[in-house]
Chains A and B, each alone.
Chain A
Amino acid sequence: MNRQALILERGSPESAGAVTALYREHAPGLIRLGMLMVGDQATAEDVVHDAFLELHRRWSSIRDPVTYTRSAVLNRCRSVLRRRAVARRFGVGHPPPAWSAESAVMVGEERRTLLEAIARLPRRQREVLYLRFYADLPEAEIARTLGVSRGTVSSTTSRALAALGKTLGEQS
C-alpha cells in the first residue's frame, strides 16, 4: 500500500481506517511468520495485534508501515522468547510448537525435522531464514527489517545454511 496516500493524522478515524486496511492485508502472513518464530497461534496473534496497535500509535512518524510492522512483530517475538527462557528456568512450560510431533497441524517428517533444526539456530539466523525463505524478501528488505547491513544479512544467511547443513548431515 502506498504510504504517500496514507499521510493522515495520528489517531484520526482516517488513520484508523488505513491501519485496519493494512491489518486485513498483512496480518494473516505476519501471524504465520510469528508462528514460525514463537511456535503457537495464540501468542503470534497477540504479537501481531500489539504491533498494529503500536503502528497506529506512531502512525504520523512512520515512513514505511509494512516494514515497521514486520520489524515490530519480530521484536515482540524476541521478547516472548526471552520471557519464555526466563520462565523455563522456573519450570514453567509453554505450548509445543505448531511443527512439533505433538501438534496435528504439521504433516511430513522431513519438514518437521527441518523446522526443528531451524528452531535450534540462533535467533538472528532464524529470522533471516524465515524472512528469506518464507516471506521471500530480498536481502535489502531483510536488512531494513532487521536494521542491519546487507553484508550482515548475507553472512548470517551463509552461517545459518552451513549450520543447518551440518545439523541435518549429522542427523541423517
Chain B
Amino acid sequence: MKGLEDRIRDACAVADTWGPEEPRPLRLPVRPRLRLNVIAPLTAAAAVVLAVSLVLVILPRRSRPVPSTPATASPYLLAMSGGVLEVVDSRTGRPHGEGIDGYGPAVTRGPRPGTYLVSQPEKGLSGPTRIRTVRLTADGRTVVESAPHWSVPGLVRELALSPDGRRLAYTIRNITVVPGAPATVQPIVVGMLDLRTGARREWTLPKAQDASASKKPDAEWNWGVSWSADNATLIFTARVTGRTAQVRALDTTAPGSDLLATRVLVSGAGKIGGTLAFAVSSGDRHTVIAAVDGARSSGRAKAVLAEYVDGRFTRILATLPGCGPVHTLTSSPNGLLISRNSTRCGNGSGTLIIMSRGKVQNGYSSEEEVASAAW
C-alpha cells in the first residue's frame, strides 16, 4: 500500500497535465527612466512649510478646551484563525491589517490593558509552547513584546487568565503523528501558571478514563477552561466518551491532581436536550452560562447559550447564529465570544459570534477554523 505522502504526490502530479503549454504573452509596461526634477519637490516643500506655519499660528487662537470623553472599549479583538493571529474590527467583522503567522491556537487577554497572551508552539505537535505577550495598539496594530514570556511543556490548546491577572490557566493535549499510522493523542492536562513566579501546577485525566484519546483525537481537544470571579476556581467542561458532558469546578487551592475528582456544577444539558459544549461562570457562585449544541429550540436542534442556576437549566439566553458545532466560549470584559466551526458550512468554516449587552452579532467569518478569540 502506498504511503499517504506518495499518494498525495501522485494526485498532485495530475496537475502537470493541466494549464496551457505556452502561457499567454506577458505585456509589461516599459516606463521611461525617472528623471529627478528639483522644481516639483521644492515647490511641495515650500507649500508644506507654509501650511504648517499657518496651522501653528491659527490653531492656538481657535482651540477651545475639549471635554474629556470617557474611555471606551477597543473596537479591535484578536482571533486565532488557521494558524494566523488576526486583528478583527468588531464594528465591521473584518480583519484589520495583516495577521501574524506562527502563533496559536490559543489567545487570551493579558495582565495589562491592551495586552494579550498568545501561545507559540516551539516544536511541532508535542510542545513545548512559549507563551508570548502581544500588545494591541489603539489603531489596531499588533506588537509582539520580547518580554516577559513563559514556557509550558506540551502543546497548549487553550489559555485563560484569572480576573486578577496573576494566574494563567491552560490545557495541553499532545499529539504524535507518524504519517500512515493513526495519530497518538496524550490525555488532557489542565494546568495553572503563576505569572509572577513561573510556578506551575497540573491536573490530569487518568488515561483509562480518557477513552476518547485514541479514538477521536479531534473531538476532545478543548475543554473550555475559564476562571470564576474568586480567582481560585477553574470552570471546565469534561467530555469523556460514554459519559454525559459535565461542567465542573476545580478548586486550585485544594490538594490532588485528578481532573475528575472535582465538583460537578452541571451534568447534562437538561430539558432542552443537546450536549453541553462549553461553560463560563457568570460571576456569582450559583450561575453558569453554557453553550449547548443540538438544543431543542422551537422544535429544531440549534446551538444556544443557556443559563443554569445551581445545576438546573433555567432559560435560553440566545440562539447562536452560524453553522457547525460550538468550538469555544470565552468570557471577556466586553462580552462573550463564541466560535462555531464547520467545513460543511456554505459561508466558510469559522464564525466568531459576539454577545454583548444582550445582543448577539456575527463578529467575524473566516474560511479557516476560529480556534480561539480574546477581547
Chain A interface residues toward B at CB < 8 A:
9-13, 16, 19-20, 23-24, 27-28, 31-33, 35-36, 41, 44-45, 48-49, 52-53, 56, 81-82, 85, 88-89, 98-99, 105-108, 110-111, 114-115, 118, 120, 122-124, 129-130, 133-134, 146-149, 151-152, 154-156, 158-159, 161-162, 164-166, 168-169
- Docked CA distance A151–B123 (Å): 6
Q: Which residues of A contact B84 (CB under 8 A)?
A: 124
Given known contacts A31-B23, A162-B177, A165-B4, is B82 in contact with A124 (CB within 8 Å)? yes
Q: Is the contact region of chain A dominated by helix, strand, or loop, or is it mixed?
A: helix
B28 to A16, Cβ gap below 8 A?
yes
Whether B124 lies near A85 (C-beta < 8 A) is no
Cross-chain pairs A/B with CB under 8 angstroms, 6 sampled = A11-B34, A36-B15, A41-B20, A56-B28, A124-B368, A134-B15
Query: Size of chain B's interface in residues, with CB distance under 8 A?
Result: 55
> Which B residues are closer than 8 A to A by beta carbons?
4-5, 7-24, 26, 28-34, 82-84, 101-102, 121-125, 175, 177, 179-180, 182-183, 217-218, 343, 346-349, 365, 367-369
Given known contacts A28-B21, A41-B18, A122 and B124 CB-to-CB distance under 8 angstroms: no
The CA-CA distance from A123 to B348 in the complex, in Å, is: 11
CA distance A163 to B365 in the complex (A): 22
Given A45-B24, A52-B26, A149-B102, answer yes or no on A122-B82 (Cβ-Cβ < 8 Å). yes
**Cα-based distance from A127 to B285 in the complex (angstroms):** 47
CB distance from B281 to the nearest CB of A (A): 32
Report the Cα distance A59→B4, complex, angstroms.
40
- B14 near A99 with CB under 8 A, answer yes
Interface residue from B7, B18, B346 paired with A35 (Cβ < 8 Å): B18
Nearest CB on A from B227, distance (A): 29
Q: What distance in Å separates the Cβ of B218 from its nearest Cβ neighbour in chain A?
A: 7
Q: Could you tell me if A89 and B175 are in contact, using CB atoms closer than 8 angstroms?
A: no
**Count of CB-CB pairs between chains A and B under 8 Å:** 160
**Judging by beta carbons under 8 Å apart, are B179 and A165 in contact?**
yes
Closest B residue, CB atoms, query A130 = B12
Q: Which residues from A are CB-within-8-Å of B17?
A: 105
* Cα separation A56 to B30 with both chains bound (whole Å): 10
- Chain A nearest CB: distance from B220 CB in Å? 14
User: Chain A residues near B349 (CB, 8 Å)?
Assistant: 122
Does A123 lie within 8 Å of B368, measured CB to CB? yes
Task: Identify B348's interface contact among A49, A85, A105, A164, CB under 8 A.
Answer: A85
- Contact residues in A for B346 (Cβ distance below 8 Å): 88-89
Residue of A nearest to B104 (CB): A152
**With A23-B23, A89-B346, A115-B14 in contact, is A158–B125 under 8 Å at CB?**
yes
Whether the pair B83, A85 counts as a contact (CB closer than 8 A) is no
In the complex the two chains form, is A114's CB within 8 Å of B26's CB?
A: no
Q: Find chain B residues with CB under 8 A from A161 CB.
A: 4-5, 177, 179
User: What's the Cα separation between A36 and B13 when bound, in Å?
Assistant: 11
**Known contacts A12-B33, A28-B21; is-contact A165 B26 (Cβ 8 Å):** no
Instruction: Tell me the smallest distance from the CB of A91 to a CB of chain B, in Å.
Output: 9
Q: Of B9, B26, B30, which one neighbours A49 at CB under 8 angstroms?
A: B26
The 8 A-B pairs of least Cβ separation, nearest first, read: A11-B31, A134-B12, A27-B23, A114-B11, A111-B11, A155-B124, A31-B19, A32-B15
A23 engages B102 (CB within 8 Å)? no
- Interchain CA distance A116-B185 in the complex, whole Å: 26
CB distance from B189 to the nearest CB of A (A): 19
- Shortest CB-to-CB span from A100 to chain B, Å, is 12
Kindly provide the distance from the CB of A167 to the nearest chain B CB, expressed in whole angstroms. Answer: 10
Of the residues B28, B82, B368, contact of A53 by C-beta under 8 Å: B28
Cβ of B315 to closest chain A Cβ, rounded Å: 31
In addition to A32-B18, A56-B28, A122-B349, 20 A-B residue pairs with Cβ atoms within 8 Å of each other are: A11-B30, A11-B34, A20-B26, A28-B21, A28-B22, A36-B12, A48-B23, A49-B23, A81-B367, A85-B367, A88-B346, A108-B14, A110-B11, A114-B7, A114-B11, A123-B368, A124-B368, A158-B125, A162-B175, A166-B217
| A151 → chain B closest CB, angstroms | 7
C-alpha gap A165/B102 in the complex (Å)? 23
Whether A159 contacts B180 in the complex (CB less than 8 A), given A85-B367, A133-B12, A164-B4, comes out as no
